[in-house]
A and B are shown apart, each in its own frame.
Chain A
Amino acid sequence: MSQSVSLKPLSKTALEVPFSGIRRFFDIAASMQDVVSLGVGEPDFATPWSVREAAIYSLERGQTTYTSNYGLLELRREIARYLNKRYSVEYNPDSEILVTVGVSEGLDLAMRVLLNPGDEVLVPEPCYVSYKPCVALAGGVPVSVETRSDAKFAVTADQLKAACTAKTKAVLLGYPSNPTGAVLSRERIVEIIAFARDRGLYVISDEIYDRLTYDGIHTCVASVPGARDITILLNGFSKAHAMTGWRIGYACAPEHILKMMMKLHSYTMLCAPITGQVAALEALKHAENEVENMVAHYKQRRRLIVDGLNKLGLTCHMPLGAFYAFPSIESTGLTAEQFAERLLMEERVAVVPGTAFGAGGNGHVRCSYATSVERIEVALARMKKFMDKLS
């Protein structure tokens, strides 16, 4: 019989990082039947068939090996070509582009190569759930910079300045934004870059939703004058190409930064999965029409859901990017958590409380319109019933 052992406690860092606020909702919603979900942070489209077919073909040919730590050179060349063509920004595919396991890994690597213990990172909120944990796991200190709905959740250089201290090391931008749908204008980015250069700060820019903008073309942060040499650009294939499960992203940065990221990546990940890389290559080369078609769908659904939410008295600005509406639920007198929980239990519509995304999220819920027109209409009808009951 084994004797009882009194093990030493787990890592303090791991224990102190909180679970995501989304988790609890997932657990409840997953146990229920007939839920219409506006809580999903991924496209409702399957990966374009030509991309899947290319991956299947690569498996049939036995392409099942490791790749270079940096990723397949052909894919990096195609990424460089894409960034140059679309945003006129140049990265050397040999030394300035790293294929990662989604933007998530790129973000983790960026934090770990930039931060020393106690270094602060300015994080505009509401933001993607993993930004602050990634900073903390790398030994840094995330500093929330709260953005407001009346400013359409776009952070300003002045807000960042106000939060900046001698310990600040970097600014973490995530626009178009999950969960608010906010984007940054070119002028705003120019001001932020001027501020960052002035203080000697790095900029990490997560642009995974770059293709999902609906009123004008996205401005790539690295394309702004003076930005490229202080910026780590993160992007990937999950959203625009509907490839979330493939876990393929990429990081672009000046060689001396990217080399360090590649070093850590080579020890912790070795390389991104080859099948996903082959699929990503096909996606960049041949799936442009499919991307545009999906964007057209999102654009139409965006108008439908925003119109519907506003008619219900859940005031909502027209999001400029991503696939989320972020309405205010303050008129109901409920907190975001109460609203989301009651809506789920009483009308079986899943939304995510804004508090899951940090400061500024209270009084809001995130509604994803990465779902069909029919489902959005059912969700809105159920939400109307819910709102009628409340009034």
Chain B
Amino acid sequence: MPKETPDEILTILARDARTSCETIAKMTGRTVEDVEKAVRDYEQRGVIKTYFTVIDWEKTGCEKVVAFIDVKVTPARDVGFDAVACRIARFAQVQSVWLVSGGSDLRVVVEAPNLRELASFVSEKLATIDGVTGTTSHFLLKRYKEDGALFFDSEQDQRLVVSP
């Protein structure tokens, strides 16, 4: 089966969520109303989940502590891993939850203002959920790339100003 070609509106917004409907309309050859309606529809259907910004917090001096936590779970009848995963996902400290293959079942990204709070979240909240049989925490030490954005000096445009 041929794979579906993604709507250009989505690929443009995935690249830069600030692109206005007017610009998208020009870029795709559609009317502004058409683009606005499509975006609204994507938002309502939950295709577009949210719009956010990738920030290098370290550069602002207010870095947070981030940990990637591998969680082992005993799956429950009927709901498998979903019940535990949804329970974990609802905590505000939790940025992402994925079911993954390999040695553990869930991979959880947790963010906290400091190490103490993060440790207490893991030991008091996460590890104590029914069905969770073990956790392994990996602390983030340095970011190189996140959500498609490089965290080291990216390449500058070095082209001549005018060329044939």
Show the binding face of A for B, using Cβ within 8 Å: 20, 22, 25-26, 29-30, 35, 37, 39-42, 44, 46, 128-130, 178, 296, 300-301, 303-304, 307-308, 350, 352, 373, 377
Contact = CB atoms under 8 A, between A and B. Distances in A.
Contacts of A26: 160-163
Interface in B137-156: 155
A22 B8 contact: no
Given A42-B163, A128-B164, 4 more contacts: A39-B162, A40-B160, A40-B161, A303-B27
B161 A20 contact: no
B23 A377 contact: yes
A350 B8 CA distance: 29
A125 to B, nearest CB: 14
Interface residues of B, number: 18
A355 B11 CA distance: 38
Contacts of B58: none
Interface string B13-43: 0001001000100111100000000000000
A247 B164 CA distance: 14
Contact of B29 (A25, A44, A303): A303
Interface of B: 8, 11-12, 16, 19, 23, 26-29, 155, 157, 159-164
Contacts of A46: 155
A129 B157 contact: no
Contacts of A303: 26-29
A179 B23 CA distance: 25
A304 B163 contact: no
Contacts of A42: 159, 163
Most chain-B CB neighbours within 10 Å: which of A129, A303, A377? Answer: A303
Given A46-B155, A300-B12, A22 B163 contact: yes
B27 A129 contact: no
Contacts of A178: 164
A30 B160 contact: yes
20 contacts: A20-B164, A26-B160, A26-B162, A29-B161, A30-B161, A37-B162, A40-B163, A41-B163, A41-B164, A42-B163, A44-B159, A128-B164, A178-B164, A296-B11, A300-B27, A304-B26, A307-B26, A350-B161, A352-B162, A377-B23
B4 to A, nearest CB: 15
Given A296-B11, A300-B8, A300-B12, A29 B162 contact: yes
Nearest to B27: A300
Given A25-B162, A29-B162, A129-B164, A44 B27 contact: no
A30 to B, nearest CB: 5
A44 B163 CA distance: 12
B35 to A, nearest CB: 12
Contacts of B12: 300
A44 B157 contact: yes
A22 B160 CA distance: 12
Contacts of A307: 26
Most chain-A CB neighbours within 10 Å: which of B155, B161, B164? Answer: B164
A301 B24 CA distance: 10
Nearest to B6: A296
3 A-B pairs with the lowest CB-CB distances in the bound complex, closest first: A39-B162, A300-B27, A26-B162
Given A41-B164, A44-B159, A301 B23 contact: no
Contacts of A29: 161-162
Contacts of A30: 160-162
A35 B160 CA distance: 11
Given A296-B11, A300-B8, A35 B26 contact: no
A76 to B, nearest CB: 27
A129 B162 CA distance: 13
B11 A373 contact: no
Nearest to B157: A44
Contact of B161 (A39, A130, A301): A39
A308 B22 CA distance: 12
Contacts of B16: 373
Contact of A373 (B23, B29, B159, B164): B23
A270 to B, nearest CB: 25
A329 B162 CA distance: 19
A20 B164 CA distance: 9
Nearest to B29: A303
